[in-house]
Homo-oligomer: A and B are copies of this chain.
Amino acid sequence: MSDLPREFALIARYFRPLAHKEALGLADDAALLSPPPGRELVLTVDAMLGGVHFLPDDPPDLVARKLLRVNLSDIAAKAATPLGYLLTIAAPHGTKDDWFAAFAAGLAEDQREFGIALLGGDTTATAGPLALSLTAIGTVEAGRAVLRQGAAAGHGIWVTGTIGDAALGLAVLRGELADPILDPASDPTLDPLGHFVQRYRLPVPRLGLRLADFAAAAMDISDGLVQDLGHLCRAGSVAAEIEAARVPLSASARAAGPAWRPDWLQRCLTGGDDYELLLAVPRAREPVLEKEAARTGLAVTNIGRFTLGAPGVTVRGADGAAMTFSRPGWSHF
């Protein structure tokens, strides 16, 4: 391939080994896909930019895996099973082969982890920062997808896992906060910069829950709990009331937060990058949810309730008063 321009050499060397059998070896203009009978496709797209969604010196393999995982998180929120993805990379001029090798190695690792493969892509060079875009494709049994729309007054508000660790991870990476339990040597799977940074750099999409059995509405938390809960409210034309004290925080967050800054809890509730699921669950379905949580080993926590009223989110503090936020979550503009 040595007579080919570098673009094609990069594709052949680093990306062709990642290709789905239906991607025609990435040697074609397009992939062909025959969806399994009886299943609907779920399509989602997210972009990530250097300096915005990740830091310029984040390891390339983790950037690749985060890009995949934020999209798989959307697939998870629809109760779907991931199938494959298409990817565009606009890499700054002068990006070295080492970078592409590490980026592709990260994709390969998560392809094995999640049972997916590359369906197509496009690689260009840019005068700007690294710009990535990934379209993920999943499938779900027809009629079994769970939507943002569907929350009703009386439904409980539930979240998976813990909230706020990733926001603290960003603070660690910015040098604003030290991780209190930084002993990565004790756990070789932990990020060298600790638990918070791990949650920021390598979110875990909450795939595998049978959401249609218990959730009336679902979405993933990417832009901050408060803001994303507002989206569920608007989609369902309901209000939401949650108690800050019931929002599940990790032991690390409870240990490090209060000493860090007075508004640490607000940061956790609005910081985003959690990639946990946010669910509306009718009371009668709570036993099904709890059984499913036990089956999958995933923690779920009831943090409040949807109520009649204009779409909007009230967060009650420990004193029962509504908390105020300088911003509900992340916006790009």
Residues on A lying within 8 angstroms of B by beta carbon are: 5-8, 10, 24, 27-35, 40-47, 49, 51-53, 74-75, 77-78, 80, 86-90, 119-129, 131, 133, 135, 137-138, 140, 142, 145, 147-149, 219-220, 227, 231, 234-235, 327, 329, 331-333
Q: Which of B33, B88, B332 contacts A124 (CB 8 A)?
A: B332
CA–CA, A149 to B28, complex, Å?
8
**A49→B128 CA distance, assembly (Å):** 10
Residues of B contacting A45 in the complex (Cβ-Cβ under 8 angstroms): 86-88, 120-122, 133, 135
Of the A-B pairs whose beta carbons lie under 8 Å apart in the complex, a sample of 30, sorted by A's number, is A7-B332, A24-B147, A28-B148, A29-B44, A29-B77, A29-B148, A30-B42, A30-B74, A30-B75, A32-B78, A32-B140, A33-B43, A43-B86, A43-B119, A44-B86, A45-B87, A46-B88, A46-B122, A47-B124, A49-B128, A52-B125, A52-B126, A123-B333, A125-B332, A125-B333, A126-B131, A127-B129, A128-B128, A128-B129, A131-B133
Top 3 nearest A-B pairs (CB, nearest first) are A128-B128, A5-B331, A133-B133
The verdict on A32 contacting B145 (CB below 8 Å), with A10-B333, A47-B133, A127-B51 known, is yes
Which of A120, A147, A234, A333 has the most chain B CB within a 10 Å cutoff?
Answer: A333
Given A119-B43, A332-B123, A29-B220 contact (CB < 8 Å): yes
Q: How far is the CA of A24 from the CA of B44 in the complex (A)?
A: 12
Q: Contact between B235 and A27 (Cβ–Cβ < 8 Å)?
A: yes
Cα distance A78–B30 when bound, in Å? Answer: 8
Which listed residue, B87, B135, B231, touches A86 by the CB 8 Å rule?
Answer: B135
Set of chain B residues within 8 Å of A33, measured between Cβ atoms: 40-43
Closest to A329 in B: B5
Q: Can you name the residue of chain B whose Cβ is closest to the Cβ of A44? A: B30
Cα–Cα, bound, A327→B119 (Å): 29
Residues from chain B with a CB closer than 8 A to the CB of A6 are 331, 333
CA distance A121 to B231 in the complex (A): 16
Give complex CA distance A30, B124 in Å: 26
CA of A74 to CA of B135 in the docked complex: distance in angstroms?
A: 17
Closest Cβ of chain B: how far from A146's Cβ, in Å?
Answer: 10
